[in-house]
Chains A and B, each alone.
Chain A
Amino acid sequence: MTDAPMVLAERVSKNFGTNKVLRGISLEVDPGEVLCIVGPSGSGKSTFLRCINHLERVDGGRLSVDGQLVGYRQKGDKLYELKLKEAAFQRQEIGMVFQRFNLFPHLTAVENITLAPIRVKGISKAKATARAMELLERVGLGDRGDAYPAHLSGGQQQRVAIARALAMDPKLMLFDEPTSALDPELVGEVLDVMKELAKSGMTMIVVTHEMGFAREVADTLVFMDEGVVVEAGPPREILSNPQHDRTKAFLSKVL
């Protein structure tokens, strides 16, 4: 644990109007670590994830990724909100996978993957396409490069979405309930890709309801409820011996 943390959250808070969604989240994610966040719906898990790549603005506390403050620049003791361009630049290093895949339906799998590398990083089309094919191979879809999202199953779409995020060579991957919108028989193929990704040393934050996955892959499991971290630690300990009543109540419902 001598490395600087990849993600450092200190008392992060976020309100939507008067609704306090995050009430001071503090946690650390080291490079190469896999952190799983579980908790009842409405506990702020997804909001926290969206704060990490500045899809939502943090209202209080400090949140930094790889030593850089997210969404703000500090000069002396004053904070300046980042320009849209600067915020976009920060996001290049953070890949995100959504519950509903959010693939671009008018583009093929390969075009989905190459769009951002070509337009944002200025990589040549040939290079980006070659890389896209590599990534599709990696997620087990080497032969579906020309398919439109509508012709892919949910599991395949989510795997393309993972490849799309990886194409930007992120240091950190965020997964927002990546298997919640899938039919049960398609969950496995997506989790397998995520396991492989975790093994390769990617830093990952996964909001999930898959306790089996959390137990097997996560280095740290965080239980969130009502905008706070209730309990955090090695997944086996938390799952088998929860300390807090709220954790016990939640786990008794989902396990």
Chain B
Amino acid sequence: MSEPESDRMLEAEPGRHGESGRTPRAGRARHDDDAPPEAIVAIPLRHPWRNVVAVILVLGLAVFVLDAAQRQDYGWPDVGKYIFDRRISQAAWVTLWLTIYAMIGAIVIGLLLAIMRLSPNPVLKSIAWLYIWIFRGTPVYVQLVFWGIVSLIYPVFTLGIPFMDPWVTIPNEIFTNLFITAVIGLALNEAAYMSEIVRAGLLSVDEGQAEASTALAMSWGQTMRFVVVPQAMKIIIPPTGNEVISMLKTTSLVAAIPLSIDLYGVSRGISAVTFTPVPLLLVASLWYLLFTSVLMVGQHFIEKRFSRGTGRVRTGKEPATPEPAPTAVPGEPGAPLGNDFGGKG
């Protein structure tokens, strides 16, 4: 993994510490030119248009905020009334669990799909490709509507030889439970995206790593577990954080199933009774914002940690192993894009 170049940099490091500041004269910094370079005194370039645009934007924002604060339709007293309403906080809890369960399911299925796509078996490969093609190529809203009515298409599960009397018949109780249906629907969709993230992570690990592991007589499973996956994690974790944030917002689409015990569903339910849709939209938005902000902060720290090369480098001063280029497909939300919010819902 580590290039000899980085070693050379390591060796060169101590020599550079002695000098005070880096002189622009490339390379040969001498100790004898002690005199600090003369500071440049010049009139800075003016940017009048920047100032004009800034003033317009700030004024516009101020007008909007002042207006909104006084406008009846926003119903600010109602926002205050419902923001800590027990029904709302319970619904927020449901949204959180929907997100957690769906992401766990998506990661497990995604890992499986990624391994299938990397397998030498052409059948496994094609099936994984087909899955990803379908689930990424259709809207998640449409998929959720489908899972909502799937219990009508398959009222019972049967086990047996086709065209004969089935041995076992189980009524379809999975898809009549709307919460489980929502988790399955969200997880199956998200798995297609997760598999691409996992695949990019696995591909980012240098081939020499698996080779060295194989040469040490380790099996494929051991090679994956102890050598490849730990290194792939630094590519996989940051975009997975993006997906969690994205999933939290996507859960609002479970209305399509229709599941209405989540944050958005309950807010809508309340507003249908009180005829105050706008305040409840604001209430729901504030809760979503709270969750995504917390996740963003967590994401920030995780990314900081995993951008430090091996993630275990202690000082951060040394040049760590060169960052392998993330091989995610361009334009898909899997690509590690810093604090991109994703958003395919």
- How near does chain A come to B305, taking the closest CB pair, in angstroms? 13
Q: A148-B312, A150-B321 are in contact. Are A103 and B217 (CB under 8 A)?
A: no
Closest residue of chain B to A182, judged by CB?
Answer: B4
Known A-B contacts A105-B231, A106-B231, A181-B4; the reply to A116 vs B211 at CB < 8 A is no
B217–A168 contact, CB under 8 A?
yes
- Enumerate chain A residues within 8 angstroms of B213, measured Cβ to Cβ: 104, 116
Whole-angstrom distance between the alpha carbons of A96 and B309 in the complex?
Answer: 26
Q: B215 touching A55 by the CB < 8 A rule?
A: yes
B276 within 8 Å of A (CB atoms):
no
| Residue contact B215 to A96, C-beta cutoff 8 Å | yes
Contact A154 B222 (CB under 8 A): no
Binds B, one of A60-68, A87-95, A216-224: A87-95
Separation in Å of the A188 CB from the closest CB of chain B? 15
C-alpha spacing A153/B318, complex, angstroms? 12
With an 8 Å Cβ cutoff, the count of chain A residues facing the other chain is 39
Question: Is B75 engaged at the interface, CB distance under 8 Å to the other chain?
Answer: no
Q: Indicate if A53 sits at the interface (CB-CB under 8 A).
A: yes
Of B5-13, B254-262, B292-300, the one contacting chain A is B5-13
Cβ-based interface call for A178 (8 A): no
Give the distance in Å from the alpha carbon of A165 to the alpha carbon of B214 in the complex. 12
Would you call B216 and A116 a contact (CB within 8 A)?
A: yes
When the two chains form their complex, are residues A104 and B217 in contact, meaning their CB atoms are under 8 A apart? no
Interchain CA distance A85-B226 in the complex, whole Å: 17
Contacts known (A103-B1, A104-B212, A149-B1); A92 close to B226, Cβ less than 8 A: no
> Is B29 on the interface with A (CB-CB < 8 A)?
no
A150 cross-chain contacts in B, Cβ below 8 A = 2, 6, 309-310, 313, 318-321
With an 8 A cutoff between CB atoms, is A247 at the interface?
A: no
How far, in whole Å, are A183 and B6 apart by their CA atoms in the complex? Answer: 11
A53: B residues at CB distance < 8 A: 215
Is A47 in contact with chain B by the CB < 8 A criterion? Answer: no
Partner of A89 from the list B211, B217, B309 (CB cut-off 8 Å) is B217
A120 and B217 within 8 A (CB): yes
A45 interfacial by beta-carbon distance below 8 Å: no
Q: Which residues of B contact A182 (CB under 8 A)?
A: 4
Output the least CB separation between A189 and chain B (Å): 13
B115: interface (CB < 8 Å) = no
Judge whether B208 is part of the interface by a CB distance below 8 angstroms: yes
Q: State in angstroms the CA–CA spacing of A55 and B211 once bound together.
A: 8
Instruction: Tell me the smallest distance from the CB of B11 to a CB of chain A, in Å.
Output: 7
For B321, the chain A residues whose CB sits under 8 A away are 105, 149-150
Taking the complex as formed, is B227 at the interface, i.e. its CB lies under 8 A from any CB of chain A?
yes
A84, A100, A120 interface centre (most CB from chain B within 10 Å): A100
State whether A105 and B219 are in contact (beta carbons under 8 Å apart), knowing that A115-B226, A119-B226 are contacts in the complex: no
User: What distance in Å separates the Cβ of B201 from its nearest Cβ neighbour in chain A?
Assistant: 13
The answer, yes or no, to whether A98 is at the interface (CB within 8 Å) is yes
Contact with A along B305-331 (1 / 0, CB 8 A): 000011111000011110000000000
On whether the beta carbons of A183 and B217 are closer than 8 Å, the reply is no
Q: Which parts of B196-231 form the interface with A (CB within 8 Å)?
A: 206, 208-209, 211-220, 222, 226-227, 230-231
- B292 CB, nearest partner CB in chain A, Å: 31
Task: Identify which of B7, B208, B217, B310 contacts A106 (C-beta below 8 A).
Answer: B310
Nearest chain B CB to A207 CB, angstrom units: 14
Q: Are B222 and A120 in contact (CB under 8 A)?
A: yes
The interface residues of chain A lying within 8 Å CB-to-CB of B219 are 84-85, 88
Asked if B11 and A106 sit within 8 Å, CB to CB, the answer is no
Q: Are B218 and A106 in contact (CB under 8 A)?
A: no
A102 touches B208 (CB 8 A): yes
Give chain A nearest CB distance to B19 CB in angstroms: 23
A96 contacts which chain B residues (CB < 8 A)? 212, 215
Q: Are A164 and B309 touching (Cβ within 8 A)?
A: no
On whether the beta carbons of B215 and A91 are closer than 8 Å, the reply is yes
Q: Which of B8, B211, B311 contacts A102 (CB under 8 A)? A: B211
Interfacial chain B residues near A95, Cβ < 8 Å: 215
Which residue among A85, A150, A152 has the maximum number of chain B CB atoms within 10 Å of its CB? Answer: A150
Are B218 and A116 neighbours in the complex by a CB distance under 8 Å?
yes
A102 touches B10 (CB 8 A): no
Instruction: Indicate the member of A105, A120, A182 with the most B CB atoms within 10 Å.
Output: A105
Residues of B near A89 (CB, < 8 A) are 217
Cross-chain contact B309 with A98 (CB below 8 angstroms): no
Within 8 A of B (CB), among A147-197: 148-154, 157, 161, 164-165, 168, 181-183, 186
Is A101 an interface position by the 8 A CB rule?
Answer: yes
Tell whether A100 pairs with B208 under 8 Å between CB atoms, given A153-B10, A164-B216: yes
Q: Contact flags (1/0) for A5-43 with B, using CB distance below 8 Å?
A: 000000000000000000000000000000000000000
The 8 Å CB contact of A151, one of B8, B220, B222, B318, is B318
Q: Kindly report which residue of chain A lies nearest to residue B222, judged by CB atoms.
A: A119
Which residues of chain A are near B230, meaning CB under 8 Å? 106
Interchain residue pairs A-B with the least CB separation, the first 6: A102-B212, A116-B216, A102-B208, A96-B215, A91-B217, A92-B217
25 contacting pairs across A/B (C-beta < 8 A): A89-B217, A91-B215, A91-B216, A94-B215, A96-B215, A101-B2, A102-B209, A103-B2, A105-B2, A105-B231, A105-B309, A115-B227, A116-B213, A116-B218, A120-B216, A150-B313, A150-B321, A151-B10, A151-B318, A153-B10, A157-B2, A181-B4, A183-B7, A183-B8, A186-B7
Instruction: Mark A residues whose CB is within 8 Å of B.
Output: 53, 55, 84-85, 88-89, 91-92, 94-96, 98, 100-106, 115-116, 119-120, 148-154, 157, 161, 164-165, 168, 181-183, 186
